[in-house]
Structure 1
Amino acid sequence: MATLPSSTINLALVPGGQEPARLPFNLEAEKALLGALLLENRLLEEIILQLREEHFHEPLHGRIFGQIKRLADLNMVANPVTLRPLFETDTALTELGGPAYLLHLTEDPSAMIAARDCARQIYDLALLRALVRVGADLVQAATDTSGEVAPQKQIEAAEEALYQVAETGDTASGAQDFAGAAAKAVAMAANAMKSGGHLSGLTTGLEGINSKIGGLHNSDLLILAGRPAMGKTALATNIAFSTAYQFKKDQRDGIQPSTGAPVAFFSLEMSADQLANRILSEQARISSENLRMGRINQSEFNELARAAQDLHDLPLYIDDTPALSIAALRARARRLKRQKKIGLIVVDYLQLLQGTGRSVSDGRVAEISEITRGLKTLAKELDLPVIALSQLSRQVENRDDKRPQLSDLRESGSIEQDADIVLFVFREEYYHESKKPEDGSEKFQAWLEKADRLRGRAEVIVAKQRHGATGTVPLVFEREFTRFADPADGAWTGGDWGE
């Protein structure tokens, strides 16, 4: 009977005359595992979540493994006798002696003892072969200049391929027993209790929002939307800074687990230095406009330098690359997850992202659907919250009541569907200023009194929340420092402004 070789084989020579790469495999381990499974089908239950047909180097072994799984799914016994009719026309098995090869696999009962170790080795060697192939593809693509030369796209594709290899066979996404899920739920409740009864996720830095949504939770997609000048970028920056600063503070104090986390901020509209300017303005309590124009005195400059020194190791990573595609953003996010252990992603804003190009013919709505699905998938894939800013349609301006609604979201169908939480930023003060009557008119005094009441007032409207109730969170907006804050004690009760 013919036998299969059990040593490594050569891959094609790599460019530059280097030694040929070798694909690692162990056919003896593959035969031992198949023999053990044919002798005791119940062993399949212990390895089926991890091992798949394509992990076997010998295609015939993969087909045998697949038929064993299929028979097990049908509650049938898988042994050489039941497998024989399924391989009568398999030329590869015929060349090795036909059904006698299946019997040969079961000749060593001791293989049952090492079945788990054989499965582990087969899986590990499959990952190594995948790495070799990714490397070979990368070398080939990088040395082929006959077509379009796009090194950045090649890097992004390589990162995605490597991440897929790393995630291959991960059983964490499979079904878990209730005890494990309940333990996570209890841990979240414990965190919320320790924080004073309102925070089970990452902090937003704003007590009102923390109390309403319980913080930022892993795998959630949060949409933060508003019309221009409402302050959605300012709020997103405040949240990103607070989450990163809390992590830095907890690390310094030795507190685990932290309600903060390193943050990745993808700014498609503003540059990194503009965002840094906002954060320094807020922390140094210097007008952002004066800071940008250089209208500051020595004392303010000293305060600015102190704030910059205090924040020099802030775990906030800003990517201001314009016109990113959703695929490129996901590749960069995966890299930051590996390298910086980020726990929160902020995207400003999703309408500036580009799709893969496959949906262009279907229009912008289809492209936005692809983007929002991609962001939600990213949140689940990296197990962290993603905050995506979004514009609102102009129909808000045509209503007397300017408070936004879910239907005001641009391409709202997909955004509303994919989002776990939708937050709207609303400042009535902005709209009231545009209604200013002439000085000295009868309406001017009434307008002025209302302007005084509205000055600095802002609202975050929780329009959708899968995990809790909707409602409104009052905030204070300090326009000079582009900063949102909680109202002073007693300024609001139960979500409503006191008059």
Structure 2
Amino acid sequence: MSESLTPPQDIAAEQSTLGSMLLSSEAMQDVVEIVTGPDFYRPAHETIFRTMLELQGRGEPVDVITVGASLVVSGEVDRVGGVQYLHEISQACPTPSVGSHYAQIVARHATRRRLAAAAHRIRDIAHQPGDEAELVELARKEVDGTSKATTTTVQSFGETIDVMLSQLDDEPDQVPTPWMAVNDIIGGLRPGGLYVVGARPAVGKSVIALQLAKALTAKGAVAFSSLEMSEADVQIRAVAADLRIDLARLMKRDLLASDWAAIRARRAAWQDVPLFIDDNSGVTLTDIKRFARSVNRRQPLAGLVVDYLQLMAQPAGDKRPRHEFVADMSRQLKILAMEMKIPVIALSQLNRGSTQRADNMPQISDLRESGRWSRTPTW
């Protein structure tokens, strides 16, 4: 786009929007749910809009006379074109009932201007030093920020209770785990939930994660970020768990004829499993988000598994203590679960705390590098 292009705007629509507000309090209520002050391209229009909101907030009438008087008091009347201009815009709107229509036009042009401004900032981001994945995430946030809705829909408990009650007859929107005792406690893996599986090293965390991932594949695709093992190692553990073959024999390739027969019988079923494995080590949270979104574009995502949390890389330049970084990663994973409406399963190592107790029973505080992040998970 040429730098000389005039920013997207519609002055006539702005005038009609403000004119409807001067003529009708009902129109004003409709308009303020669609636009905000910065949505107006002409600064004088933003000033008039702000003045009208101030009058409304004080419980005073909003019309040409009151707005003009308020602008005189604030010393801004000449800047907006004088009281005569207020008369002009009050006559610009054919009827107050169409004020919301013109407000929508104003809002659309404001979105386009924000998009153009974001493009300039993204151009600057492209020239910044740093990891490209982090820069892409910054650029994505710039674009996402251009389309934030100005309207906030509020509904009371009573207005929404029937929706919830009607859902009680439906199947719960959660995926059962393979273990009934766990389901009795948590009900299953729910969209938006962060579930942490903690254990000491070499006790089977990854196998548990694979079993949870397999359960989630019944609903859709699963993104499995393996920071500790290669994709082949993950697959071989999945095969051992599925066929109940001794993992050591699989690793040594010491297979019996019956093992091969079982593998051949299950091969076609495995090829249809929508489990996507990323075995890149040293990945950041940005990398994991990008991986999850890539899988979601390929096939609707049902869940994300991170194996394991403490191996996530801390971006260069991040000087926070490790426990603060890990705590923030858990919060970000919870946010990601809610944004994508999927369960996120994060594996975590335990420190030596449980081994120092008589019963060896682990506690939440035993999560390695936990700091205060143990408050974040759903379970």
Aligned 8 A contact 1:359 1:366 in 2: no
| 1:111/1:348 CA distance change after superposition, 3 Å | farther
In the alignment, does 2:194 pair up with 1:221? yes
2:223 to 264, 269, 279: 264
1:101 to 85, 89, 92: 85
Q: Which residue of 1 aligns with 2:16?
A: 32
Looking at structure 1, the residues matched to 139 and 302 of structure 2 have their Cα atoms a distance apart, in angstroms, of: 23
Looking at structure 2, the residues matched to 371 and 37 of structure 1 have their Cα atoms a distance apart, in angstroms, of: 46
Deviations 1:201-245 (A, max 9, x none): 23324333223212222322222222223322221221111111x
| 1:314/1:91 CA distance change after superposition, 3 Å | farther
Aligned 8 A contact 2:354 2:362 in 1: yes
Q: 3-state DSSP class of the match of 1:154?
A: helix
Q: Which residue of 1 aligns with 2:356?
A: 398
Shift of 1:113: 2.6
Structure 1: gaps (5+ residues): 1-9, 13-19, 248-260, 422-499
Aligned 8 A contact 2:19 2:92 in 1: yes
| Counterpart residue identity of residue 242, structure 2 | Q
Aligned 8 A contact 2:45 2:80 in 1: no
2:177 to 201, 204, 211: 204
Q: Which moved more, 1:220-229 or 1:234-243?
A: 220-229
| Counterpart residue identity of residue 328, structure 2 | E
| Counterpart residue identity of residue 385, structure 1 | P
Shift of 1:402: 0.9
Q: Which residue of 2 aligns with 1:317?
A: 276
Looking at structure 1, the residues matched to 74 and 231 of structure 2 have their Cα atoms a distance apart, in angstroms, of: 61
Q: Which residue of 2 aligns with 1:189?
A: 168
For normalisation by structure 2, the TM-score amounts to: 0.83
Looking at structure 2, the residues matched to 285 and 35 of structure 1 have their Cα atoms a distance apart, in angstroms, of: 75
In the alignment, does 2:46 pair up with 1:58? no
2:136 to 151, 155, 171: 155
Looking at structure 1, the residues matched to 26 and 103 of structure 2 have their Cα atoms a distance apart, in angstroms, of: 14
1:294 to 235, 241, 253: 253
Deviations 1:168-207 (A, max 9, x none): 1175x7533335642453354223xx4xxxx552332433
Q: In the TM superposition, what are the counterparts of 1:164-183 in structure 2 within 5 Å?
A: 164-166=145-147, 168-169=148-149, 174-179=153-158, 181-183=160-162
| Counterpart residue identity of residue 105, structure 1 | I
| 1:70/1:391 CA distance change after superposition, 3 Å | farther
Aligned 8 A contact 1:379 1:385 in 2: yes
| 1:188/1:86 CA distance change after superposition, 3 Å | same
Q: Which residue of 2 aligns with 1:378?
A: 336
Deviations 1:20-61 (A, max 9, x none): 776433222222222222322333444545533333333443
In the alignment, does 2:108 pair up with 1:124? yes
Shift of 1:136: 4.1
| 1:389/1:309 CA distance change after superposition, 3 Å | same
Deviations 1:76-133 (A, max 9, x none): 3333333335545989863552232233221144342322322333333333333334
**Structure possessing the higher relative contact order (Cα contacts under 8 Å, 6 or more residues apart):** 2
Structure 2: gaps (5+ residues): none
| Counterpart residue identity of residue 402, structure 1 | N
Q: 3-state DSSP class of the match of 1:186?
A: helix
2:346 to 370, 380, 388: 388
| 1:150/1:88 CA distance change after superposition, 3 Å | farther
In the alignment, does 2:366 pair up with 1:408? yes
Looking at structure 2, the residues matched to 419 and 114 of structure 1 have their Cα atoms a distance apart, in angstroms, of: 48
Aligned 8 A contact 2:207 2:241 in 1: no
Q: 3-state DSSP class of the match of 2:245?
A: coil
| Two-structure CA RMSD over aligned residues (Å) | 3.4
Deviations 1:443-497 (A, max 9, x none): xxxxxxxxxxxxxxxxxxxxxxxxxxxxxxxxxxxxxxxxxxxxxxxxxxxxxxx
Looking at structure 1, the residues matched to 362 and 352 of structure 2 have their Cα atoms a distance apart, in angstroms, of: 10
Q: 3-state DSSP class of the match of 2:210?
A: helix
Identity rate, percent: 26
| 1:272/1:416 CA distance change after superposition, 3 Å | same
Shift of 1:288: 3.4
Q: 3-state DSSP class of the match of 2:277?
A: strand
Q: Count how many residue pairs are aligned between Structure 1 and Structure 2.
A: 379
